[in-house]
Structure 1
């Protein structure tokens, strides 16, 4: 019996709510960051105590959902046309982010941020999509290895940093290393195969539809929220 029979073609409310939560936290994080950028606040964001962990929580929610989304979309068979269409959208989004960062932050431009990571991680996660236990083990090993410094956290970009130190900034904005975050995507694959998630527990709670909507349109919201925030803060400040 296919445990995904009702869930491959339908939305999973629990996953959409997790994405919505990640989006709300992300908007809060970037709003505080933008206030600091315009000198309205002096808080140590993004690397100060508490703020770093806050960002890690946001990334964890997003990347677990990436693993889950891959399983729910392609667990029976990889639908390559749909997969590459999604990858193309993420690629265009990542290109826009890089271009804007080069204009706004030339010394800390974004060359491997959230969207760049999702683009690559989605490819690297495909082989483990139908092997949840191996995906869990691989994810835990990657997290453990990162904690024990078994491999450089800037891999493979540390080669580029050494070759072109004036081109590839060490302190890149929105930096998301493959290690250990790919491990979180793999753990998301394991969670997608769990009976708890396939039962979609939050679908029985009666959550309002507007709470689910952001989770269905996370890529669009990710791309437009910062221009809206920055433009609004700049406009209000100019008044």
Structure 2
């Protein structure tokens, strides 16, 4: 999606596809757990309970590291603006679809800036840093430190947006640009310095996981409707 068309296969990285594929698997597990709770078959809260919040951080971190790494692989030699525009446009359309559909499904908690919205913007901005990997790490550390110590906060802007723009106070999916963009920048740094510290042997299992990673956007779009339909069928069968 984000590689120049004439070097797409050359720039693909098997380990990055596996990382993205593992993140997809974990995301499906997370949403399966979320649906169990939503249908009243479990008593936990995936948005509050610490173990589920940590689980979500792991999943989002995997996806965003892969964004930074893939951006570096695709654009460190040259920036194919046509390919970049096509990739970002696709993500923007998907993000718009998610916002509209979630508004009808969850009118009080619809998705106004979920992970696809984030990746669309992060991909566009990340190409500015692929030739500056050390600066990427420095900016990432600044973001993380200022966020952790709350030296910079966007809470007033968020509250203003709730009151004046009409975004919901709660949403079913939110990936804040600050501090999450730091993970994308770290992915650029890791890939440039070859610090992505594992090598995956190709076999039947890892090839399937990598396949999931290559088709992560499509799987992201269809997995939850499938899960929700299955839960609904089971609920109707047990009624």
TM-score normalised over the length of structure 1: 0.90
Matched, 1:48 2:49: yes
Aligned residue in 2 for 1:195:
194
Deviations 1:155-184 (A, max 9, x none): 8544312424xx211211211111000111
> Bigger CA drift: 105-114 or 38-47?
38-47
Question: Given that residues 122 and 184 in structure 2 are in contact (C-alpha distance below 8 angstroms), is that contact kept between their aligned partners in structure 1?
Answer: yes
Map of 2:168 onto structure 1: 169
In structure 2, the partner of 1:206 is: 202
Aligned to 1:98: 99
1:185 counterpart SS class: helix
Matches within 5 A, 1:10-89: 10-89=11-90
1:120 Cα deviation after fit: 1.0
For residues 116 and 105 of structure 1, the distance between their equivalents in structure 2, rounded to whole angstroms, comes to: 17
Shift of the alpha carbon at 1:196? 4.2
Which residue matches 1:226? 224
RMSD over aligned Cα atoms: 1.9
- Measured after TM superposition, the shift of residue 124 of structure 1 is 2.0
The ranges of structure 1 where at least 4 consecutive aligned residues each deviate by more than 6 angstroms after the TM superposition are none
Paired residue secondary structure (1:127): coil
Matches of 2:9 and 2:182, distance apart in 1: 23
Which consecutive residues of structure 1, in runs of 5 or more, have no partner in the other structure? 1-5
Which residue in the other structure is 1:3 paired with? none
Q: Give the structure 2 partner of residue 179 of structure 1.
A: 178
Q: Is the 8 A contact 1:102 1:109 kept in 2?
A: yes
Match of 1:217 in 2: 215
- When residues 154 and 65 of structure 1 are mapped into structure 2, their CA distance, relative to the original with a 3 A threshold, is farther
- Alpha-carbon separation, structure 1, partners of 2:156 and 2:137: 21
Distance 1:45 1:153 in 2: 24
Task: State the distance in 2 between where 1:17 and 1:156 align.
Answer: 37
- The 8 Å contact of residues 114 and 174 in structure 2, kept in 1 or not, is answered as yes
C-alpha distance in 2 between matches for 1:233 and 1:44? 18
Evaluate the alpha carbon distance shift between residue 21 and residue 195 of structure 1 in structure 2; reply closer, same or farther with a 3 A threshold. same
Gaps of 5+ in 2: 1-6
TM-score between the two structures when normalised by the length of structure 2: 0.90
1:126 and 1:33, CA in 2 relative to 1: closer, same or farther beyond 3 A? same
The structural deviation recorded for 1:194 is 1.9
What number of residue pairs does the alignment pair up?
229
Partner of 1:118: 119
The one of 224, 229, 235 aligned to 1:237: 235
Match of 2:153 in 1: 152
- 1:30-68 deviations in Å (ceiling 9; x for gaps): 011011111111112122111101000000000010011
Deviation (angstroms), 1:221: 0.5
